[in-house]
Amino acid sequence: MAADSPVLEIHDLVKVYHMGEVEVRALKGVNLTAQRGEFVAIMGPSGSGKSTLMNIVGCLDRPTSGSYRLDGIDVSRLNRDQRAEIRNAKIGFVFQSFNLLARTRATENVELPLLYGNLGLTAVERARRARQALARVGLAGREDHYPSQLSGGQQQRVAIARALVTDPAILLADEPTGNLDSRTSEEIIGIFQELNNAGKTVILITHEPDIAAHAKRVVYVRDGVVWRDERIVQMKAKPGAVAGEPEPAVAFPFTVAPAEEPVREEVPQ
Amino acid sequence: MKVGLLRLWNITKVGLMAISRNKMRSLLTMLGIIIGVGCVITMVAVGTGASSSIQATINSLGTNFIMLFPGAATTGGARMFTDQSRITPEDADAIRAECPAVAYVSPGARTNAQIVAGELNWGTQVWGVGVEWPLIRAWNVADGDFFTDVDVRTSSKVCVLGSTVAQNLFPNGDAVGSTIRIKKVPFKVVGVLERKGGNMMGQDQDDQIIAPYTTVMKQLLGSPRISMIYISARSAGDVKEAQTEIDSLMRQRHRIPPGQESDINMRSQEEIASTSEQTSRTLSILLGSAAAISLLVGGIGIMNIMLVSVTERTREIGIRLAIGAKGRHVLIQFLLEAIALSVVGGAIGVALGLFAPYLVTRFAGMPTQVSTGSVAIAFGFAAAIGVFFGFYPARKASRLDPIDALRYE
């Protein structure tokens, strides 16, 4: 796969659920392309097909029709086990409810994806990578803590470290700040920004506009199709982004105050 | 391959970690298996102990041993067992003289008596026998001598003590040469028998006194009848032949026509042994099956807990699936958890099964013998139960949909 090929290439994606006699068309032909190093926020009201899209992007589910290439690989027709392999190698999940294993140390949680991978790492190497990933999210020194001993923000950092440890093609974050207060949310979103600045592709699913505003591009999903897709030019880089009162670097994308609006440009579909 | 093994080991560790995280629940889950395995081993040990002590008795008696008892007597058309023995010492002499398949014969005349020796006394049974009795019973004196042919002919008041009797009447071990009183009749102790231990029925064979049958009949019983005749065939192969010869001889002597029921009963040692061995085997099978059922119930317990565990850990399974665990990884993890539970439970059960028979012997006085076979089978069965009853919950876990599992509250 060429380095310049899109990391995410979705074409005419359709997902139909059958609920008894009723047919629900959750996705009605989604087209979406993301380049390496992009920071895309996917927004949409509930029932928009956002979650369905996220499940398919995360290889947790298969589309009814249409194509989906992840990191150059067509993953739309893979079976259960093949999708598990793709999830392990190419996708780093961060969930709203952290989803750490209880009564399991931070390092062990972070190591978990490596246990299922094909890399054949030794225990020492796994531990080293886990520590490295934890250090990267600012949790050096808390490796042996259990989730119950960590704050929500710290737990989410462990989850981000777990997503990072396999060096995946995309970080897929599903409402990662949904369970956090606004200050901690800023910290977490700041980590994603830093990772993105370091070259990681981040896909962020959220319904909070001020969270989406931290991305470089916002894709609005509505009624099973991409309704709007716009780039945001960040007014201010936010170094650190961890501490301090969150400054409104960008305004709420839906606000109607043009003077405050960040510069946007329509992305040609 | 190396990667595969490494991964298998990793998943094993994941399973072991899950067990150690839920120690109490794991212990309760294992309890069924622990008790099952422990019971199987203990019950088999009790059964094996019983049958090996029977085997030891047979060997000590010799397989060519035959006992002749008075049988059912017909009096006026009513058949019944009577105390009225029709066997006499002359019958014993006739068997010795006329049955070629018979090697040794000894009359047996039994009575109960209170024995007095100095200040001590002891109630026991007194057997009047002939000089061939030690050969038939394969039982020698440990101290002193057995009485002689002359003692029998002259009805000497001599006796040989069983070791229990000797111990109770002569705690200092100076039995031989002393005089004891049996029903007020003084008898000289000429010897003490070797220790033999309990017989198949659990009676102490050492709790008896042996004296010449002539003396017992004249001095203690005052009857011409005897209780039984001890017979020894020439060899184990001659037992059947000897029984036939004795039967026809006794019919002739007691004037019982062929076709009519004889007034004597014969039991060969082999018959007695096989009967009681069969009894003990039936008992073992009964106890063993009860234990096996508890093992099975233990297995179902494991399945129950594993099913609960799968439901309870649906979220965890979802996380594992999301970060790249394949169905078979989850399957192996839960299967290994079930196997580990049953193997650890089995190991504890084995420890229990090795210890419990010791207690049974110590406090219930029953002979036990732990067989390696039963340990291996019980342990193997426990492990197999882990696989069998762990498979269904594990498969259920492995087939969960990651999206639903992640959403599970």
Stretch among A39-53, A96-110, B27-41, B263-277 having the lowest mean pLDDT: B263-277
Amino acid A36 reads: R
Q: Give the model confidence (pLDDT) of A64-82 as tens digits.
A: 999 999 999 999 989 999 9
- Supply the pTM of this predicted model: 0.67
Q: How many CA atoms lie within 13 A of B22 on its CB side?
A: 19
Mean pLDDT of chain B: 84
Which residue has 């101290």 as its token pair? B143
What the block records as the tokens of B137 is 């019973």
Closest-approach residue (CA) in chain A for B324 = A88
Q: Give the model confidence (pLDDT) of A188-236 as tens digits.
A: 999 999 999 999 999 999 988 989 999 999 999 999 999 999 888 765 5
- A16, containing H or E segment: strand A8-19
CB contact under 8 A, A84 and B315: no
Show residues of chain B in contact with A81, CB under 8 Å. 326-328
Q: Give the model confidence (pLDDT) of B158-214 as tens digits.
A: 999 999 999 889 988 888 999 999 988 999 999 999 988 766 566 788 899 999 999
User: Which pLDDT belongs to residue A257?
Assistant: 35
Beta A170-174 vs A201-206: how paired, if at all?
A: parallel
CA dist., res. A225 & res. B296, Å (int): 56
What the block records as the tokens of A8 is 């995410």
B23 to chain A, any CB pair closer than 8 A? The answer is: no
CB contact under 8 A, B329 and A116: yes
User: Which pLDDT belongs to residue A243?
Assistant: 43
- How many Å lie between the alpha carbon of A71 and the closest alpha carbon of chain B? 17
Confidence check: pLDDT of B337 > 90: no
Give the Cβ contact number of residue B91 at 10 Å.
22
Show residues of chain A in contact with B21, CB under 8 Å. 103-104
Quick one: what percent of chain A has pLDDT higher than 90? 68
User: Which pLDDT belongs to residue B200?
Assistant: 58
Which residues lie below 8 Å from residue B95, measured CB to CB, with a gap of 6+?
B68, B102, B105, B229, B231, B246, B249, B250
Residue from the list B2, B316, B323 with its beta carbon closest to the beta carbon of A116: B323
User: Which pLDDT belongs to residue A218?
Assistant: 94
Put residue A47 in one of left, alpha, beta given phi > 0 → left and psi -120 to 50 → alpha.
Answer: left
User: Which pLDDT belongs to residue B4?
Assistant: 63
CB contact under 8 A, A112 and B406: no
Confidence check: pLDDT of A261 > 90: no
User: Which pLDDT belongs to residue B401?
Assistant: 92
Contact B208, B124 (CB under 8 A): yes
User: Which pLDDT belongs to residue B193?
Assistant: 92
User: Which pLDDT belongs to residue B59?
Assistant: 67
- How many Å lie between the alpha carbon of A268 and the closest alpha carbon of chain B? 32
CA dist., res. B230 & res. B232, Å (int): 7
Confidence check: pLDDT of B288 > 60: yes
User: Which pLDDT belongs to residue B301?
Assistant: 83
User: Which pLDDT belongs to residue B279?
Assistant: 78
Confidence tier at A152 by pLDDT (50, 70, 90): very high
User: Which pLDDT belongs to residue B32?
Assistant: 83
CA dist., res. B215 & res. B222, Å (int): 10
Stretch among A4-8, A44-48, B58-62, B107-111 having the lowest mean pLDDT: B58-62
Quick one: what percent of chain B has pLDDT higher than 90? 24
B285 to chain A, any CB pair closer than 8 A? The answer is: no
Q: Give the model confidence (pLDDT) of B102-157 as tens digits.
A: 999 999 998 998 999 888 888 999 999 999 999 888 888 888 999 999 999 999 99
User: Which pLDDT belongs to residue B81?
Assistant: 53
Average pLDDT over residues B57-75: 72
B321 to chain A, any CB pair closer than 8 A? The answer is: yes
Measured CA angle at A191 (ends A190, A196), to 5 deg: 95
ipTM (interface pTM):
0.84
CB contact under 8 A, A120 and B3: yes
| Nearest CA among B243, B241, B403, B395 for reference residue B333 | B395
CB contact under 8 A, B324 and A103: no
Amino acid A104 reads: T
Confidence check: pLDDT of A3 > 60: no
User: Which pLDDT belongs to residue B172?
Assistant: 86
